[in-house]
Amino acid sequence: MPALAKRREVSVTLCMPCPTEIRYYSMYTFLSQIWGARPPRKSVKEPGTGAAGTCGQAIPSTSDVSAAAGLACFFLPFLLQVLFESPRFHCHMGWTVKMTKIFLTRMGFHACLLQHNVHKKKDEKPPLCEKPPPSPDITGRTRQRCIEITKEKFEELKEENLLLSNANQTLTLELNLIKQAMKELQLKLKRTEKENRKLKEAEKASPQEVTAASELLYLRKQAQELVDENDGLKMTVHRLNVELSRYQTKFRHLSKEETLNIDGLPSKGPTPPWLLDIKYLSPLLLAYEDRMKEKDDLNATLQEEMRVFRMRVQEVVKENEELHRELTKSSPVTREEWHQLQTQAELVLEENKLLIEQLEIQQRKVKDTHKERLQEVSKLTKQLMLLETKTQSQKKELTENKEQLEILRTECQDLKTQLDGKIAVNVHASIVNELKSQLQKEEEKGGAEMEELMGKLALLQVQKQSLLLEKNSLAAKNQALGAELDRAQKINRRSQKKIDVLKKQVEKAMEKEMSAHQYLANLVGLAENITQERDNLMCLAKCLESEKHGVLNKIIEGNIRVGRLEEKIRGYKKQAALKVGDISHRLTEQQEDFASKTARYQQEMRHLHRMLQDKQDILDQALQQKREMEGELEVVWQSTSKENQRIRELLQAALERPGVWDGPGEVRWAPAAPATGT
């Protein structure tokens, strides 16, 4: 977009006619009036209305004016020579040599470069002071100047094309980057889908392998955690021992009363978690070490300050002792003298205060005066700059006036040489009157032309303002497009952040699933242990039954032990029944807990599946937004490519447009097209 704004500015500058072109156009109108032809006109419309300008005249196009300027530079000496020699010119306007010189000087051409053959007729003689013919260097210079102007314009157009191509390249690079980011996101989505499939397949695999692997992992983790905790505890013990030894070397041992008053860890109850876990201990130890370092630094600074303070106190004590010695050596001071000294000291202090206040007031005044002088200096510098600019402009005017005076002197000398012994006083007076009348007419024409030019300049200023408004609107559009691009980039960043957050949530869900599998494996192990205990109890019951049968057989053998054995058997039965009841109650409770935990885990799995579905929907929305952004970027790219193509077509049309100049003899001329295309 900045390239487009620059292109509009260049087009505005190309449309603005330069003063040389205006001068050539006025000469062009003059020649066309002489030869009965009309210049090519182009109606200029105001930007606000559909009617033509207020001047009532039309302005030629820039291509026609530039073509006329080039042809005027190239063919002007020959055309003027033919024009001045033609009888139609003398019939139409009875100009003299001086009038032609004035015309040429006003048009911007030196009279000495042209050959004036106005008085060349059959009966008349040539004038005494003939001017030399025009040198071919002037035509070559004018041609070179026209070629240089065309080359400069061509180079400006090339620079605009380069800027547009650079803008297109940047847009293509941004599109490629966005496409690469989209591809990376698609690859990441595919990877996540593959990981989800693998996890689902692992869940569907045999539970025994999963339980065995999870148990091994759990045991390894526990062993690693124990090793890490042991290392951490060793390091903490070492650090604490170092600090204890340092403390014991610096300070004394605590008494029993002081140890009782210390608020430390409780002797009873469970140990706090931060005392055994390394995760809590390591930051505490680091903070403890930082505090210890801060205290050591404080101690060092305080010791330095105390040493300096001691040195100062010793110096003060020495000074006091010396003063006391001097007082003892000198005569003793009376109370009146002492009071006088005190009053004098107070007066001196008051005077010092007053002097300090006066100094502050004077400093303020000095600052104010300094500021005022600085302001005056700045004003004077501005005035000096203005005066310098005025003097420079006046010097330029003086040089111009001097040049005009020299030209007038040369003209006067030429006129004197021409008038010596040739023209009478009456003829000279009549010629002067004619010249005055012609000068008045020319001045009137010049005033009319100036008014027309002022009107044209006003129209051009209005056009310039309208073009500036268009430029501002284009800049606003450019800013809006930039804001839209920033919004799109922000949306892409937010989507990437959301994707990262979703990935983290998926990882957390996977970790939760692994922990749930481990917990289920532990529950299965507990259930197996409970079944083993139940089998053992059943074996015990069978053994008791066999013992009972043996006891019955023994009862038959011995009547004496029957009563005792029956009592023992009743007691054993009661104990076995109680144990079996407790075991069955425990089994039922464990089965209920297992069922509730399985239901809870199933609910958690469903919740995780729902979360995964929601995340998949969010990812689909992000992909859809990115597709929409790609479509918008493609539309922007197509519009920029169309604008570039339109600009190239306009440039080719401007370069291929032929310059037409309808003068005497219908001479046609076109600028040479450049060899290389844009």
Q: Report pLDDT digits (tens) over 169-186.
A: 777 777 777 777 777 777
Could you tell me if 594 and 583 are in contact, meaning their C-beta atoms sit under 8 angstroms apart? no
Residue 547 C-beta-side C-alpha neighbours within 13 Å:
13
Decide if 200 is inside a domain: no
Residues 191-228 have pLDDT tens digits of 777 877 777 776 666 566 667 777 888 888 888 888 88
Position 234 in a domain: yes
311: confidence class by pLDDT, cuts 50, 70, 90: very high
Residue 119 domain flag: no
Q: Is 469 a member of any domain?
A: no
pLDDT band at 460; cut points 50, 70, 90: confident
Lowest mean pLDDT, pick from 122-126, 383-387, 392-396, 634-638: 122-126
User: What is the C-alpha to C-alpha distance for residues 524 and 522, in angstroms, rounded to an integer?
Assistant: 5
Asked if pLDDT for residue 17 goes beyond 50, the answer is no
Q: Is residue 663 left, alpha or beta, with left meaning phi > 0 and alpha meaning psi from -120 to 50?
A: beta
Number of structural domains in the chain? 1
Q: Where are the beta strands (DSSP E) in 559-661?
A: none
Give the long-range contacts of residues 212-217, CB within 8 A, separation 24 or more. 214/514, 214/517, 214/518, 214/521, 215/518, 215/521, 215/525, 217/518
Q: Are 304 and 255 in contact (CB under 8 A)?
A: no
Q: What is the pLDDT of residue 35?
A: 47
- Residue in 664, 558, 565, 463 with CA at minimum distance from that of residue 15: 463
Confidence of residue 322 (pLDDT cuts 50, 70, 90): confident
Chain segment 348-375, per-residue pLDDT in tens: 888 888 888 988 898 888 888 878 877 8
Among 651, 665, 661, 666, smallest CA distance to 64 is for 661
* Res 114: pLDDT: 44
Residue 298 lies in a domain: yes
Q: Is residue 415 part of a domain?
A: no
pLDDT tens-digit readout, 594-626: 788 878 877 888 888 788 788 788 888 888 887
Write the pLDDT tens digit of every residue in 92-130.
444 455 555 555 555 554 444 444 444 444 444 444 444
Are 580 and 540 in contact, with CB atoms under 8 Å apart? no
Residue 8: band (very low, low, confident or very high) from pLDDT cuts 50, 70, 90: very low
Cα dihedral 512, 518, 521, 522 sign: negative
What residues make up the domain containing 297? 223-251+275-330
Q: Which single residue is written with the structure tokens 């958690």?
A: 604
Residue 299 lies inside a defined structural domain of this protein: yes
Q: Which long-range contacts (CB under 8 A, 24 or more apart) does 625-630 make?
A: 625/491, 625/495, 626/178, 626/182, 626/185, 626/492, 626/495, 629/178, 629/488, 629/491, 629/492, 630/178, 630/179, 630/182
pTM: 0.19
Among 194-208, 381-395, 486-500, 520-534, the range scoring the smallest mean pLDDT is 194-208
Q: At 263, is the pLDDT very low, low, confident or very high (cuts 50, 70, 90)?
A: low
- pLDDT tens-place string over residues 542-582: 887 787 777 667 666 766 766 776 777 778 778 877 887 78
Please check whether residue 640 lies inside any domain of the structure.
no
